[in-house]
A and B are shown apart, each in its own frame.
Chain A
Amino acid sequence: EAAVTQSPRSKVAVTGGKVTLSCHQTNNHDYMYWYRQDTGHGLRLIHYSYVADSTEKGDIPDGYKASRPSQENFSLILELASLSQTAVYFCASSGTGTVNERLFFGHGTKLSVL
């Protein structure tokens, strides 16, 4: 079974602080994604990557950076965390990125910015 592991599972951050969320996959997948989940908004794509050392902007990239140092690892970075970034963040991976490709999600990171 494909595996996507996120860390930490939850985090409390202070406004203006730096936050790094990590994701590791053992699926040998090329594509990795960061989604944000808010009540009433479903899942929204922040950044994605299809190859190591390259990232692409999704639908809501403002206030976030991403890093893909290797095929297995994909990080989401909040340089200056804000209250509005309180949400649950999901990492996902897929094999080829084609439209009918199944996404494998991690368990999520609950981020609270105070």
Chain B
Amino acid sequence: QQQVRQSPQSLTVWEGETAILNCSYEDSTFNYFPWYQQFPGEGPALLISISSVSDKKEDGRFTIFFNKREKKLSLHITDSQPGDSATYFCAASPSSGSWQLIFGSGTQLTVMP
């Protein structure tokens, strides 16, 4: 059972466009949502994160929009650059129990010059 779902599986945009990556979750107790960026041949690295008390988090060209009622998030990458080409993982953390992160299956983003 996949508790964190991402769409699309792959996305291609042109340089300068806004890329929109989607994420949804099932468990209403999830309250922390990091996004990790992974370049080919490397491990994932934290890009940006949001907690359930906020509906928006911005860091430069990267913005998370969070809709708690619908259990949905989206990562917007404005003015996309070829260097943004990577796989993006949405993750979620439950609020209780032992620490853990549940990762989505990722969105592979390609930015064409």
Contact = CB atoms under 8 A, between A and B. Distances in A.
B32 A107 contact: no
B43 interface: yes
Interface stretch (A13-21, A41-49, A78-86): A41-49
Interface residues on B, range: 20 to 34
B43 A44 contact: no
Contacts of A92: 43
A102 B31 CA distance: 15
Contacts, number: 54
Interface in B28-70: 31-32, 34, 36, 41-46, 49, 51
A100 B33 CA distance: 8
B101 interface: yes
Contact of B93 (A40, A43, A99, A106): A99
Nearest to B96: A99
Given A40-B9, A45-B101, A100-B51, 17 more contacts: A42-B104, A42-B106, A44-B103, A45-B100, A92-B43, A98-B99, A99-B31, A99-B32, A99-B99, A100-B93, A101-B99, A103-B44, A105-B45, A106-B43, A107-B41, A107-B43, A108-B41
Interface of A: 4, 31, 40-45, 56, 58-59, 90, 92, 97-103, 105-108
